[in-house]
Structure 1
Amino acid sequence: MTEKSCHHRRYGSLYTLYLDQQAIEFLDSGLSPEEWFRCNICNIKSDEKKESGIVNISSSKAVFVKRFFIDNAWQKILYALYKDQALQTFKLSLDMASAGVPIPRPLAVIRDPERKKKSVYLLSEALRHYRTLKKTIIDLKDPAQVQDVLDYLAVLLAKMHNAGFFHGDMKWKNIMIDARSKNSACFIDLDTAGRLISRRDRRYARDLARFCIDIQESLPQQEQVCRFITAYSRFATRTPKSIMEHTLPYHMKIAAKHRAKYGIEPTPLKLDP
């Protein structure tokens, strides 16, 4: 699954890059992306930069759609150069999926150059049977089951970083767990994801710091942070000590934000409980 395996197609002024023809069949009917989005979207979320939701494209299939607004001058320059965030996220998603990183299957990207409201639509697999990690952990009553899930995710994170990628915002709401199997997960919301430049690139540690913040804010046993870092280190190419040293500055920065915004004071990060 790479960009080379995608298809390119133009519908008038529209440009689309896609893997799944069914995801963009509505364009054959003459509907604009705006009309299709407005008529079919549900569970919509929005802010000043984008909006997203689920669209049912058949009785058995749904897609997750994220619409990016192209508003300011810099975004318009990137759009003209085919460097806009949606297109770059789609291409990165293809590479991540090819490397075995568990993410929703990327389906298509549609670039709508409408003069008054340029937009780019990013389409991916809808996760019908998944819940956020936060909800999953809350519902688990057995501490051993909680630890099993955390150990499993430590392995997934290590494998993603070993493959040369980072997520950028690894909070528990951006990790989806299959309700039918606790050993099946997906990382979502890849707007902040990217490639690690080299073995010395420490951005992997921000993922760990953000994940550990949620452990500390959601679970009473603080030693689970140490166990998570240790589990991660078994599959990473770094020692627990070096991982903790890289993670600590990010952890302090995120903790300060949470302290100012939510009044929450996470326990200082350390290797020994």
Structure 2
Amino acid sequence: MIRLLRGEDIVGLGSAGLANAEGTQAWLESVGEVVKRDRHSMVALANLDGRFSYCKYYRPKGMLQRLQFRFGGGRAVAAFDSAQALVSAGIEVPSPRACALLEDGMLLVTEAFEEASDLKSLWQAGQSEDRLAQLMAHAGAVLASLHEAGFSHGDAKWSNFLVAGTAMYLVDLEAVLTSAPAASSGVRDIARFTLNAEDMGLAPEHFSAFLDVYAEDRSIPRCDIEVRIQPLLSKLRARHMTKYGARGHPLV
């Protein structure tokens, strides 16, 4: 069973192979390169219908989620709809291609990019001082644009900032929410990004490249942003400390 819920019928074009495979995971392993997997999901990069695509398979976690999938709900649909809304708002995200209900879960297909890397991976690979400052400033501009358009990401960790060429895209859009573009919007996103920066041991001057651009683009004093994120950042730090122990250093 393949039922297209959103987008193009590209999943249908591959239905013969998918129908003959022993489940969606086996099909993705045969047509693409698996880049991530856990108990309830798998991500693969594949050429579908002549286009390089990001494919994320969602396996239901239980009966309630299986029913949610059957009625056209769930994270895959939320991510597709969020991507459509952000593309319409002029925010740089991978274009959504399809969302389909399958016998064993859901499949989300979006645009993918050759030789792309997320911000966390770039940091771990090592970057020049100038390049790192440029990347941080770009991330600040991307989040400012998102918040000014009336959206928040919901999980603005470094691995969800994808760099491809000169562009930077927001990915993993399952938790995107709409909100009025007021000065207080996006607090969680900034706090989450800051926690990652602290954990990575980012130098204060490079963090300033991020926060200064964000503050300027949103016309908000930097000191106000730092005050607003403190309560949530303190909670995130405490949770992080419990899970990983002391790492990095505070930046605000």
TM-score tier by shorter-chain length is 0.7 to 0.9
1:48 and 2:39 equivalent? yes
Pick aligned residue for 1:36 from 24, 27, 41: 27
Instruction: Name the structure 1 match of 2:158.
Output: 172
- Matching residue's letter, 2:178: R
- Matching residue's letter, 1:45: K
Instruction: Name the structure 2 match of 1:105.
Output: 95
Instruction: Name the structure 1 match of 2:120.
Output: 134
Deviations 1:27-79 (A, max 9, x none): 3x474373633532422422232222122236x63211111122423313423
1:63 and 2:49 equivalent? no
- Matching residue's letter, 1:225: F
Q: Which structure ranks higher in relative contact order (CA pairs < 8 Å, sequence separation ≥ 6)?
A: 2
1:196 and 2:179 equivalent? yes
Q: Quick one: distance in 1 between partners of 2:207 and 2:10?
A: 43
Q: Quick one: distance in 1 between partners of 2:17 and 2:132?
A: 49
- Over the matched positions of the two proteins, sequence identity in percent amounts to 22
Pick aligned residue for 1:155 from 115, 131, 141: 141
Structure 1: tracts of 5 or more residues without a match:
1-12
Q: 1:264 to 1:97 in 2, by over 3 A?
A: farther
- Matching residue's letter, 1:184: A
Q: 1:184 to 1:23 in 2, by over 3 A?
A: farther
Pick aligned residue for 1:248 from 226, 230, 239: 230
Q: Classify the secondary structure of the residue corresponding to 2:174.
A: helix
Q: Quick one: distance in 2 between partners of 1:167 and 1:232?
A: 15
Q: Classify the secondary structure of the residue corresponding to 2:169.
A: strand
Q: 1:266 to 1:254 in 2, by over 3 A?
A: farther
Structure 2: tracts of 5 or more residues without a match:
none
- Matching residue's letter, 2:167: S
Q: Classify the secondary structure of the residue corresponding to 2:156.
A: coil
After superposition, the CA RMSD in angstroms is 2.6
TM-fit CA distance, 1:103? 1.4
Instruction: Name the structure 1 match of 2:206.
Output: 224
TM-fit CA distance, 1:217? 3.0
- Matching residue's letter, 2:132: V
Pick aligned residue for 1:187 from 140, 164, 170: 170
- Matching residue's letter, 2:221: T
Instruction: Name the structure 2 match of 1:9.
Output: none
Q: How do 1:6-25 residues align onto structure 2 when only pairs under 5 Å count?
A: 13-22=1-10, 24-25=12-13
Q: Quick one: distance in 2 between partners of 1:47 and 1:201?
A: 35
Q: Quick one: distance in 1 between partners of 2:5 and 2:63?
A: 24
Q: 1:222 to 1:63 in 2, by over 3 A?
A: same
Provide TM-score, normalisation by structure 1. 0.79
